[in-house]
Amino acid sequence: MFTGIVTDIGTILQLEQRGDLRARIGTGYDVDGIDIGASIACNGVCLTVIALGREPQNWFDVEMSAETVSATNVSNWGVGKRLNLERALKVGDELGGHIVSGHVDGVAEVVGMRDEGDSTRVTFRAPDALAKFIAPKGSVALDGTSLTVNEVDGRNFGINFIPHTKAATTWGDVAVGDLINLEIDTMARYVARLREYG
């Protein structure tokens, strides 16, 4: 489990297609504090650490199945891409965002951007099957970041990014046309299911 509060920006150092896709991710995390088998959310995708090292910088390796690649924006990853990283939640940690599983539900597209003061309003288009789960003032996880929805118009929804969020995550790099990992709020999923069978 995660909170959607990004704690590092990693960089893809290597990508290799073996049986599965293997990525080496450079990190600011102290690798002495990471165990093999640990979960790290990489742009919102919960991935398992399979190797660690320190040269030429701290790094960890993860593997992604064809299912993970097809259900996320991983197919657009390349060497040099920056990723939002978050270590798994520990008992007693502050829950600053919302409960995030790291299981991406689908991919949203950036369809609009405009500056509002020092902030940036970004409009996303959700897949048809997920749009009903997104509500104004509700939470979503986008590329692993816990965010509050400002407005909803059909499949489109808007998020306001303050300067701190743009600096502390990869949201300062976003552009129209980008494909973004979307995880809907777990509570919204259960409420919809209860209404369906209530």
- Per residue in 1-29, pLDDT (tens digit) is 899 999 999 999 999 998 999 999 999 99
Domain with CATH 2.40.30.20 in the chain: 8-87, 106-197
- The tally of CA atoms less than 13 A away on the side-chain side of residue 79 is 5
- Which 8-state DSSP code applies to residue 2? B
For the chain, state the CA radius of gyration. Answer: 17
* For residue 82, pLDDT beyond 90: yes
Instruction: Quote the pLDDT of residue 198.
Output: 63
Contact 15, 76 (CB under 8 A): no
Residue 197 pLDDT class (50, 70, 90 cuts): confident
pTM comes to: 0.94
**What's the angle, vertex CA 26, arms to CA 21 and CA 31, rounded to 5?**
105
Q: Which CATH architecture has domain 106-197?
A: Beta Barrel (2.40)
How many angstroms separate the CA atoms of 165 and 180, rounded?
16
Task: Give the pairing of strands 39-42 and 45-53.
Answer: antiparallel
Task: Give the pairing of strands 45-53 and 156-161.
Answer: unpaired
Q: Which has more pLDDT, 188 or 184? A: 184
Residue 184 pLDDT class (50, 70, 90 cuts): very high
Give 90-143 pLDDT, tens digit per residue.
877 777 888 899 999 999 999 999 999 999 999 999 999 999 999 999 999 999
How many angstroms separate the CA atoms of 172 and 149, rounded?
18
For the domain bounded by 8-87, which CATH number is listed? 2.40.30.20
